C-alpha cells in the first residue's frame, strides 16, 4: 500500500463529527464501513419516524374494520348505529379505494415537481387526520361515503411518497429491509388496532359517545398531533440535510448516483413513461403486487370479521387479531433482510406468497366449525402474505426503466392497492359467515399463488436480462436486481 493510500485511509478513520459518524467522500465510495456508518446515521433519523407515521396511516385506514363489529352485542357498532348493511359498508370501502387509486400518481407528481417530502407528507397526514376525527361524528350513510372518499384522497400518495423518499437515501441492496421496516409497521397497526379497539369497547356510551366514535376520535387526534413531528424532523434530500456534514452529504448523493438513482426534478421522456406504465415486465410487477394486496386488504378490512366468524365475541375478536399481525411483523423483517442480503427478492416473495396460498387453501377445505384449525391457518397465511409485500415493493424501485420514473413506478404500483381493496371488500360475503367465507378463502388462495408465479417469472426474466447485458431505456448498462 503506497503512502497516499495509507494517508487517505487514516484520514477516513479519523474523520468523525461529535457523534463519531462522519465519513470522507473521496476515500469511502468502495469502503463497506463508510457505507455502514452513513447508513446507520440515516437509519436513526429516517426509519423510526417513517415507520411511526405509516403505522398511523394504516390505523386510520383499517379502523373502520374494527368499528364494523365493535360493541355489536349491545347494538352499538358502527353499522348498527348508522343503520348500514354489509353491502353499504362494502360500497363505502370501494369508494375509498377508488379515491386511493385515482390520486396515487398525481400525488407523487406533486412530490417530484413542486413539494418537499416533509411538507407534502405532513399536508396529507393533517388532511386525513382531521377527516378521521370528523368521521366519529357522521350521522348518515351519505356522510360516511363523502368522508371515506376524502380520506382515500389524502391517504393515496402517502405510502408511495415514503417509498420514493427511501430511494433518495438508500441503495438498491439496502431498500427491502427499510421498506419492510416501514411496511411492517402496518402489521403492528393491525395489532395495535386490535388493542385500541378492545380498550375503547369499554368506553362505549362514555361522554355520550359509542365505542366506535372513541376509536376515530383517539386515532384521528394522534395523527393530527404527529403532523408537527413530520414537518420538523423528516429529512428531505441528502444534499440539503443539515444534520450531515458536508462530506457526508456528498457521499450520500454519490453512492446513490452510482446506481443511476437519486432525486431529480427532471421530467421523464415519453418513452420512459410508456415503458414504466405499459412494458410487460412492469405490468407483471403491478399484477403480482395487486394479487398480493387483495389478500392484505382482506385482512385489513375483514380480519376482525373473520375472527368473529370463528366463534369469538366482537370484543374478543379484537384481541384475537393481534397474534397474526404480530407474527407477520417479525417474519417480514427477517425475510426482507434475507431478500436484500442474497439479492433474491423474487424467490423470497414467491416462497412467502405460496405459504399464504397454502394457508388459505387449508382454511377453505376445513369445515366451517373447525375454529381452532382455521384460526391456525389464518396465522400461517399472515406469515406469508405480509412478508412477501416489502420485497415486491423494493423490487419495483430497483428495476424501473429509468431513474426519472422511480416515483411514477412507485405510485402506479401502489395504485393497485385501491383496485385490490375493491376486490377484497366484495369477496367476504356476510351471507357466507356460517360456511366460513368460502369465496374469500378461495380468492385469496388464487391471488397468493398468482403472486408466487409472477415473482418466479420475473426472477427468471431478470436473470436472462443480466446474462444478455440488457440496457435500460436511456441506454445505460444496468445490473438488474433479482
> What are the tens digits of pLDDT across the range 173-195?
888 889 888 887 776 776 677 77
Residue 301, pLDDT > 70, answer no
Q: What's the confidence (pLDDT) of residue 75?
A: 84
Q: What's the confidence (pLDDT) of residue 176?
A: 81
What percentage of residues in the chain have a pLDDT greater than 70? 89
CA distance 303 to 310: 11
Residue 70, pLDDT > 50, answer yes
Q: What's the confidence (pLDDT) of residue 137?
A: 94
Q: What's the confidence (pLDDT) of residue 314?
A: 60
Q: What's the confidence (pLDDT) of residue 263?
A: 62
Distance of CA 101 to the CA centre of its chain: 14
CA distance 413 to 405: 12
Q: What's the confidence (pLDDT) of residue 4?
A: 38
Read off the pLDDT of residues 9-63 as tens digits, 9 standing for 90 and up: 343 344 334 344 444 444 455 678 888 999 999 999 999 999 999 989 988 888 8
User: What pTM was computed for the model?
Assistant: 0.79
Residue 213, pLDDT > 50, answer yes
Q: What's the confidence (pLDDT) of residue 374?
A: 84
Q: How confident is the model at residue 298 (pLDDT cuts 50, 70, 90)?
A: confident
Q: What's the confidence (pLDDT) of residue 333?
A: 86
Q: How confident is the model at residue 142 (pLDDT cuts 50, 70, 90)?
A: very high
Q: What's the confidence (pLDDT) of residue 218?
A: 93
Residue 113, pLDDT > 50, answer yes
Rg over CA atoms, the chain: 23
Cα angle value 218/194/323 (rounded, 5°):
150
SS (H, E, C) 21-88: CCCCHHHHCCCHHHHHHHHHHHHHHHHHHHHHHHHHHHHHHHHHHHHHHCCHHHCCCHHHHCCCCHHH
Residue 124, pLDDT > 90, answer yes
CA distance 44 to 358: 37
Q: How confident is the model at residue 260 (pLDDT cuts 50, 70, 90)?
A: low
Cβ(404)–Cβ(272) below 8 Å:
yes
Rounded mean pLDDT of 315-323? 71
Residue 389, pLDDT > 80, answer yes
Q: What's the confidence (pLDDT) of residue 310?
A: 67
Read off the pLDDT of residues 343-371 as tens digits, 9 standing for 90 and up: 899 999 999 999 999 999 998 898 888 88
Rounded mean pLDDT of 70-84? 85
Rounded mean pLDDT of 263-289? 89
Better-predicted residue by pLDDT, 360 or 425: 360
Please give the mean pLDDT across all residues of the chain: 85
**What kind of fold does domain 45-262+269-468 have according to CATH?**
Growth Hormone; Chain: A; (1.20.1250)
The domain ranges of the chain are 45-262+269-468
Q: How confident is the model at residue 108 (pLDDT cuts 50, 70, 90)?
A: confident
Full DSSP string of 204-223: TTBTTB-HHHHHHHHHHHHH
Return the H-helix or E-strand segment holding 2.
Answer: none
Better-predicted residue by pLDDT, 223 or 32: 223
Better-predicted residue by pLDDT, 373 or 143: 143
Cβ(108)–Cβ(161) below 8 Å:
yes
Read off the C-alpha cell for 419. 383496485
Better-predicted residue by pLDDT, 168 or 460: 460
Please enumerate in sequence order all residues whose Cβ is within 8 A of that of 398, keeping only pairs 6 or more positions apart, or say none: 172, 175, 345, 480, 481
- Nearest CA to 418 out of 155, 86, 186 is that of 155
Amino acid at each position: 500500500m503506497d503512502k497516499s493510500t495509507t494517508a487517505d485511509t487514516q484520514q477516513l478513520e479519523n474523520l468523525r463529527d461529535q457523534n463519531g459518524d462522519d465519513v470522507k467522500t473521496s476515500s469511502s465510495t468502495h469502503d463497506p464501513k463508510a457505507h455502514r456508518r452513513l447508513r446507520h446515521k440515516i437509519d436513526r433519523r429516517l426509519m423510526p419516524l417513517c415507520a411511526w407515521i405509516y403505522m398511523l396511516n394504516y390505523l386510520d385506514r383499517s379502523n373502520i374494520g374494527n368499528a364494523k363489529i365493535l360493541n355489536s352485542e349491545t347494538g352499538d357498532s358502527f353499522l348498527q348505529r348508522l343503520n348500514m348493511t354489509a353491502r353499504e359498508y362494502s360500497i363505502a370501502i370501494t369508494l375509498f379505494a377508488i379515491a386511493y387509486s385515482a390520486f396515487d400518481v398525481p400525488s407523487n407528481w406533486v412530490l417530484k415537481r413542486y413539494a418537499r417530502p416533509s411538507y407534502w407528507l405532513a399536508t396529507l397526514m393533517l388532511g386525513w387526520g382531521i377527516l378521521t376525527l370528523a368521521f366519529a361524528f357522521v350521522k348518515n350513510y351519505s356522510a360516511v361515503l363523502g368522508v371515506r372518499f376524502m380520506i382515500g384522497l389524502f391517504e393515496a400518495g402517502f405510502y408511495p411518497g415514503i417509498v420514493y423518499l427511501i430511494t433518495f437515501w438508500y441503495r438498491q441492496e439496502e431498500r427491502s429491509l427499510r421498506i419492510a421496516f416501514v411496511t411492517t409497521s402496518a402489521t403492528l397497526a393491525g395489532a395495535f388496532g386490535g388493542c385500541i379497539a378492545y380498550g375503547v369497547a369499554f368506553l362505549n356510551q362514555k361522554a355520550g359517545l359509542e365505542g366506535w366514535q372513541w376509536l376515530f376520535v383517539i386515532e384521528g387526534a394522534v395523527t393530527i398531533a404527529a403532523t408537527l413531528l413530520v414537518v420538523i424532523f423528516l429529512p428531505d434530500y441528502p444534499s440539503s440535510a443539515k444534520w450531515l456534514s458536508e462530506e457526508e452529504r456528498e457521499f450520500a448523493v454519490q453512492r446513490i448516483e452510482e446506481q443511476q438513482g437519486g432525486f431529480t426534478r427532471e421530467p421523464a421522456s415519453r418513452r420512459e413513461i410508456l415503458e414504466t406504465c405499459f412494458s410487460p415486465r412492469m405490468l407483471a410487477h403491478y399484477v403480482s403486487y395487486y394479487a398480493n394486496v387483495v389478500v392484505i386488504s382482506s385482512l385489513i378490512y375483514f380480519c376482525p370479521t373473520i375472527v368473529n366468524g370463528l366463534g369469538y365475541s366482537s370484543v374478543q375478536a379484537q384481541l384475537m387479531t393481534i397474534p397474526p399481525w404480530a407474527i407477520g411483523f417479525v417474519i417480514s423483517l427477517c425475510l426482507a433482510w434475507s431478500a436484500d442480503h442474497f439479492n433474491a427478492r423474487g424467490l423470497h416473495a414467491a416462497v412467502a406468497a405460496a405459504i399464504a396460498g397454502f394457508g388459505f387453501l387449508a382454511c377453505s377445505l376445513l369445515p366451517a366449525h373447525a375454529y381452532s384449525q382455521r384460526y391456525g391457518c389464518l396465522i400461517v397465511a399472515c406469515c406469508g402474505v405480509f412478508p412477501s409485500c416489502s420485497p415486491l415493493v423494493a423490487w419495483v424501485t430497483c428495476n424501473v426503466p429509468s431513474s426519472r420514473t422511480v416515483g411514477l413506478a412507485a405510485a402506479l404500483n401502489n395504485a393497485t392497492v385501491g383496485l385490490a381493496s375493491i376486490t377484497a371488500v366484495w369477496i367476504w360475503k356476510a351471507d357466507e359467515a356460517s360456511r366460513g367465507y368460502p369465496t374469500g378463502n378461495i380468492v385469496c388462495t388464487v391471488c397468493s399463488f398468482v403472486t408466487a408465479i409472477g415473482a418466479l417469472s420475473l426472477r427468471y426474466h431478470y436473470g436472462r436480462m443480466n446474462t444478455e447485458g440488457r440496457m435500460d431505456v436511456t441506454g445505460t448498462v444496468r445490473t438488474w436486481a433479482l
